[in-house]
Amino acid sequence: MARTMTDSIRETLRALPHFQALDTELFERVVACAELRSFERSETIFLHGDRARAFFVVRCGSVRVYRATPDGREQVVHHLRAGQSFAEPAVLSIGRYPVNAVALESPTELVAVDARFLELLKGEPRLSIAIVSSLSMRLLGLVERIEELSIASAPARLAHYLMKLPAQGTHEHLVVQLPLAKKDLAAHLAIAPETLSRLLRRWQDRGLIRSKGRTLDLLDTRILLAIADRDE
Amino acid sequence: MARTMTDSIRETLRALPHFQALDTELFERVVACAELRSFERSETIFLHGDRARAFFVVRCGSVRVYRATPDGREQVVHHLRAGQSFAEPAVLSIGRYPVNAVALESPTELVAVDARFLELLKGEPRLSIAIVSSLSMRLLGLVERIEELSIASAPARLAHYLMKLPAQGTHEHLVVQLPLAKKDLAAHLAIAPETLSRLLRRWQDRGLIRSKGRTLDLLDTRILLAIADRDE
DNA sequence: GCGGCCGCTTGACCGTGGTCAAGGGCGGAT
DNA sequence: ATCCGCCCTTGACCACGGTCAAGCGGCCGC
């Protein structure tokens, strides 16, 4: 019954795509590289330029990975939830974090896998194949994100985001929950909070959605999809 | 004296970071997966959705990798020159190209490394370590690109681009050559060609640069740097 | 040398979306 | 229950940069 910290680590790591196919012995050696860390809302996990001693897997809570410019603006690169990993590239190549990461909820628990993992990698082709594949997927995801951020208009980005959210209900009347505060969602979509607010208002007036706090009813998915990949 | 096609392939692949540390025997097995292909200006190399049979290394010429949206707009993801590789992730994970690629010059010669490479990877930890590292670098590059495209203003993007170009001359009077036609540069920076034109004009009027065709004199690098990471 | 094409430049216009400022509403703390 | 603070909303304004349209210039083919 006693649930050790190592059990938590084991459970979190095993759920990762990288590690699902590993045999027990190798997997335990990975677990031995890891420790559990806990963060509070708004607590910094690492900063741009810090020495990259570990990569992370989200056990619970959520994390924002972002870049900041000298003039104080920032751009969200990733938003991570339970079961997702981040910062592998920093550990596996240059050894410094190229971005900032901050916890968004209290508590946010992360499994930190440190540099001993690199040694494992060198001796284990199966492990490196898994990592290659997972990094490749991540790359493809970033290419998507480039498209989202630079081709699409603000309404298209929002509609696209809403339609990708896990939904409940029938095809013509979906109900979704926003996983972020609206101001954080705005940051993720690279728009001002005011713009987000105005868009939701407009669509509600047109009968496309209904909005109550973080719960949205998508009433006309047909038109929303059209907005998502054409343009408003 | 006779220079075989295989020699060309060997030379091109050997210059890649992935392959520099390989011993001769393993390297030759990589070479055996590769063939040389030639393209003309504007010729398509692959399209979004095509089965990914190979990844590529640029031997000469240049390549634009881009995404297109239903409404006809497009976003440049990469611009590649001699010695650079692309499309590894497609081959190494999902098996389909997620983007389009087109040759920008005549001739553009590419070394295509086909799927037999995957088999090599499975048996060779050193090879996969090299790939992991190189994919990681690529990921970091894409994060930079996200910042470039979505945080910075048009003047900042342009100034940043100019200051990163290989330059000749003294610190306070650099001379750079644009490696792209201005309309292609505009596409890379995600701005309209007209905007590029106007920016260069304005900076020339202010004495920051001098522009003659594709040759630019950077007369005040101090201010250009300021524009690059603050904002206009 | 001449014509035509394509890339570059310039001008005029306008829409998208960011900024500034102020008001309302929900929730947590006491 | 009440207060305070933070988020969200709404309004007014404006500038950045895209689009449309026209004119210019250089390069290549004939």
Angstrom distances, CA of residue B175 to CA of B154, B188, B189, B192: 22, 21, 20, 24
Could you tell me if A76 and A176 lie in one domain? no
pLDDT in tens, B9-51: 999 999 998 888 888 998 999 999 999 999 888 889 999 999 9
- Say yes or no for a CB contact (<8 Å) between B122 and A125: yes
Could you tell me if B79 and B192 lie in one domain? no
Measured distance CA(A188)–CA(A190) in Å, rounded: 5
- Higher-pLDDT residue of B58 and B168 is B58
Number of domains in chain B: 2
CATH number of the CATH domain containing B182: 1.10.10.10
Which residue in A has a C-alpha nearest to residue B137's C-alpha? A93
The C1' atom of D14 and the CA atom of B154 lie apart, in whole Å, by 18
Residue B104: alpha-carbon gap to chain centroid = 11
Contact B107, B84 (CB under 8 A): no
Mean pLDDT, rounded, for B185-193 = 94
Written as six digits, the tokens of A58 are 């989200």
Which of A24-38, B68-82, B126-140 has the largest mean confidence? A24-38
Could you tell me if B134 and B168 lie in one domain? no
Judge if the beta carbon of B215 is closer than 7 A to nucleic acid strand D.
no
With beta carbons under 8 A apart, name residues in chain B contacting A73: 151
Residue whose CA is minimally distant from D20 C1': B194
Judge if the beta carbon of A8 is closer than 7 A to nucleic acid strand D.
no
The C1' atom of C5 and the CA atom of A15 lie apart, in whole Å, by 60
Measured distance CA(B99)–CA(B46) in Å, rounded: 8
Measured distance CA(B56)–CA(B86) in Å, rounded: 6
- Higher-pLDDT residue of B74 and B86 is B86
Q: What pLDDT does B70 receive?
A: 64
Provide the residue range defining the domain that includes A145.
5-150
Single residue among B150, B174, B200 that ends a domain in this structure: B150
The C1' atom of C29 and the CA atom of A81 lie apart, in whole Å, by 29
Could you tell me if A120 and A158 lie in one domain? no
Q: What pLDDT does A232 receive?
A: 44
Could you tell me if A38 and A20 lie in one domain? yes
Closest nucleotide over all strands to B194 (CA to C1'): C9
Q: Which stretches of chain A are DSSP H helices?
A: 5-14, 24-31, 88-92, 116-123, 125-150, 154-164, 182-188, 193-205, 221-229
Residues of chain A with pLDDT under 50: 232
Single residue among B126, B150, B174 that ends a domain in this structure: B150
Single residue among A150, A169, A204 that ends a domain in this structure: A150
- pLDDT confidence of B154, banded at 50, 70, 90? very high
What residue has token string 């705005």?
A186
- Grouping H, G, I as helix, E, B as strand and the rest as coil, residue A62 is coil
Query: Which has the minimum average pLDDT: A117-126, B130-139, B177-186?
Result: A117-126
Q: Which pTM was predicted?
A: 0.84
Could you tell me if A128 and A34 lie in one domain? yes
Half-sphere exposure of A143 (CA within 13 A, CB side): 24
Measured distance CA(B50)–CA(B71) in Å, rounded: 20
Q: What pLDDT does B2 receive?
A: 58
CATH number of the CATH domain containing B135: 2.60.120.10
